[in-house]
Chains A and B, each alone.
Chain A
């Protein structure tokens, strides 16, 4: 678990995409302010029939599944002991962190009386019958675990950074606001020492935290499915099954692997880094089996409950069910072929299909298959969508900035347990011209 497996992405922080995302974030934040002043109804189309809109269906139910990359890869690395996937884990954990942060933030926007949320910590108020209680506590615990899991990267940066940005900031503040620059800089030594003291100690117990980070998602992802168990009269029989917890659990794992692939391919493309084909093809070999297993259980469950006929009714429910089925099926079919698992293009396409299909499943359970009774309709309002978009924008923004500040991405040309890699331009990469932008920072 050496830190030399990872590197910072060099480059400017203030890019065009940064400002686009910043604008979207600001729109979202303004709308959230409106929601805080005028109530939820002022910005959303949620109603008493559809009390949960896209903030829950997308940001929480789907968002946490998409954020399961960290969970899925951690299973692979630490439980199945495929250490070669270790280079992927930090970026997966970071996206998980942001994904769960997004879910948590959305929940706070969505809650009507968030100031009472402290009751989750009051034992006399605990309600063990409630799936949501379980989800809430687990998600809160898991978010903490993710932060601790990510802490080594931050500590490493604190320890080794040359503090160039701090210098720059201090310089810009110099004459007026920060007259005593040396005092501030003098304290850097303490920070470095503290980070250096904590890091090895944290590394020793980290494995127990990591395993906690595998247990907790197992619990709450299944409970996300349990949440809709009680809506027996409202959720369409295509989806309402006693196996909902199991479906959600498997669903989040294959989404997790797929999202790890997507993320890696896209960031390789965007940051012009070489593709991590060996790791990705390994991941990709697991997905189709999981997805097929899942599809088989779904069909078995439908048969057992005698709802198979509902699939072929071709009403709106059956159409969405078939779409979800088709996306997952096609995605799996592509990945069954070994050659496709080595092609960035097909990896991307299939992973995207699987993520879409898996996400659609969660949407189906939480929104599309949910029918509260005669006459109720729901479609998100523009401001409701923009709040979700704003929160996602904040997430991506954070990811963009953090990968440039702390070593997150796998080191280029990484070799397992390699102590140090020279930064010479590599031959045989698809984009030889861009090697200048991938200069890793040398650890001091």
Chain B
């Protein structure tokens, strides 16, 4: 009995793990994913930025909602004089930072990259993170979010931020002013307010063309790379800068989207829910047969071994 059972067990286990094993091979083929260049995005040119932080102020002014963005006090600031975020946070959607070392310095603006294949949307278990198929805006709905913070784990740029200090917390990230400035004026507040023209808003293809033009016209000003063009499958927020992007706090990333990779594995295992159902049915057959055998031999002192 045991031997036969073992064989059946392995058969069932084989069924179950077929999906798992199948995941090994196709992982490499996951990057076949074309960027949709008609989506909206932004181009931030660090060499044009003057560090005035008008974008930060405008963002908070436009997107302040109860329970949303708030001002952040620096440690040394006893009187609450300034809004001094040190990083993106549950209170801050966009932020200008400064990189400085012996080789040079550069401002850098942080905000959501609005990926072509966003990890946060891929992992959100309740579809609180969504990507608009037309504009490409990655938006968040607090009314659906369960606060599991999987989006934070998944995001390669560490963009979604959680309100750790609030009783009713939510995830905070840039939505290109989708419900505020973009709706009212057709342009996100930061791009609208930027006095230096460092933030351009537009279609991804136009932004890419503009970025390439700038790289061509002033090759001495820039690192010859458009950050976001290929990173993790492409992002709608693009960067130009004079210093290597890694030093500006932007992670050096491969061109494959992690979301495509993980979805492929997940879909292989659960395609049509066939594997789990097959597993269940075969296990049921085995268990029921075992049970019947057990009943057929009431209280045997020794179970006879069956040869196969």
- Asked whether any CB of A lies within 8 Å of a CB of B in the complex, the reply is yes
Query: Which among A37, A46, A120, A132 has the highest number of chain B CB atoms within 10 Å?
Result: A132
Given A112-B169, A207-B291, A226-B262, A129 contacting B123 (CB threshold 8 A) = yes
- Verify B150–A132 contact, CB threshold 8 A: yes
Given A46-B164, A125-B126, A227 contacting B299 (CB threshold 8 A) = no
- Verify B148–A119 contact, CB threshold 8 A: no
**Stretch of B179-187, B222-230, B282-290 at the chain-chain interface:** B282-290
User: In chain B between 205 and 234, which residues have their CB closer than 8 angstroms to a CB of chain A?
Assistant: 232
Given A79-B5, A134-B270, A230-B262, A242 contacting B169 (CB threshold 8 A) = no
**Chain A positions within 8 Å of B150 at CB level:** 130, 132, 227
Expressed in whole angstroms, the Cα–Cα distance for A136 and B127 within the complex equals: 14
- Verify A215–B280 contact, CB threshold 8 A: yes
A26 within 8 A of B: no
**Stretch of A47-55, A87-95, A149-157, A422-430 at the chain-chain interface:** A47-55
Residue of A nearest to B1 (CB): A81
**Stretch of B35-43, B52-60, B154-162 at the chain-chain interface:** B154-162
**Chain A positions within 8 Å of B95 at CB level:** none
B62 within 8 A of A: no
Residue of B nearest to A37 (CB): B167
A30 within 8 A of B: no
- Verify B123–A211 contact, CB threshold 8 A: no
- Verify A49–B287 contact, CB threshold 8 A: no
**Chain A positions within 8 Å of B263 at CB level:** 129
A31 within 8 A of B: no
**Chain B positions within 8 Å of A83 at CB level:** 294
Number of A positions contacting B (CB below 8 A): 75
Please give the distance in Å from A111's CB to the nearest CB on chain B: 5
**Chain A positions within 8 Å of B160 at CB level:** 48
Please give the distance in Å from B265's CB to the nearest CB on chain A: 6
**Stretch of B108-116, B137-145, B237-245 at the chain-chain interface:** B137-145
Please give the distance in Å from A432's CB to the nearest CB on chain B: 27
Contact pick for A125, options B9, B21, B144, CB 8 Å: B144
**Chain B positions within 8 Å of A219 at CB level:** 276
- Verify B20–A120 contact, CB threshold 8 A: no
Residue of B nearest to A250 (CB): B17
**Stretch of B73-81, B99-107, B192-200, B253-261 at the chain-chain interface:** B253-261
Given A40-B164, A48-B152, A131-B266, A229 contacting B261 (CB threshold 8 A) = yes
- Verify A78–B299 contact, CB threshold 8 A: no
Residue of B nearest to A228 (CB): B153
Contact pick for B9, options A40, A79, A243, CB 8 Å: A79
Expressed in whole angstroms, the Cα–Cα distance for A212 and B280 within the complex equals: 7
Please give the distance in Å from A54's CB to the nearest CB on chain B: 14
B279 within 8 A of A: yes
User: In chain A between 88 and 131, which residues have their CB closer than 8 angstroms to a CB of chain B?
Assistant: 107, 110-114, 116-117, 119-120, 122, 124-131
Please give the distance in Å from A110's CB to the nearest CB on chain B: 8
- Verify B153–A234 contact, CB threshold 8 A: yes
- Verify B146–A111 contact, CB threshold 8 A: yes
Given A127-B125, A130-B150, A39 contacting B287 (CB threshold 8 A) = no
- Verify A230–B123 contact, CB threshold 8 A: yes
Expressed in whole angstroms, the Cα–Cα distance for A214 and B148 within the complex equals: 26
Given A222-B269, A243-B24, A39 contacting B144 (CB threshold 8 A) = no
Contact pick for B147, options A113, A120, A242, CB 8 Å: A113
Residue of A nearest to B123 (CB): A130
Please give the distance in Å from A96's CB to the nearest CB on chain B: 17
**Could you give 5 example pairs across A and B, Cβ below 8 Å?**
A39-B169, A132-B125, A134-B270, A222-B269, A230-B262
Taking A120-B126, A215-B279 as known contacts, 19 extra A-B pairs with beta carbons closer than 8 A to each other, sorted by chain A number, are A48-B162, A78-B290, A79-B12, A81-B2, A83-B294, A111-B148, A113-B145, A116-B145, A125-B144, A127-B125, A130-B124, A210-B287, A226-B262, A229-B258, A229-B262, A229-B265, A232-B258, A233-B156, A245-B20
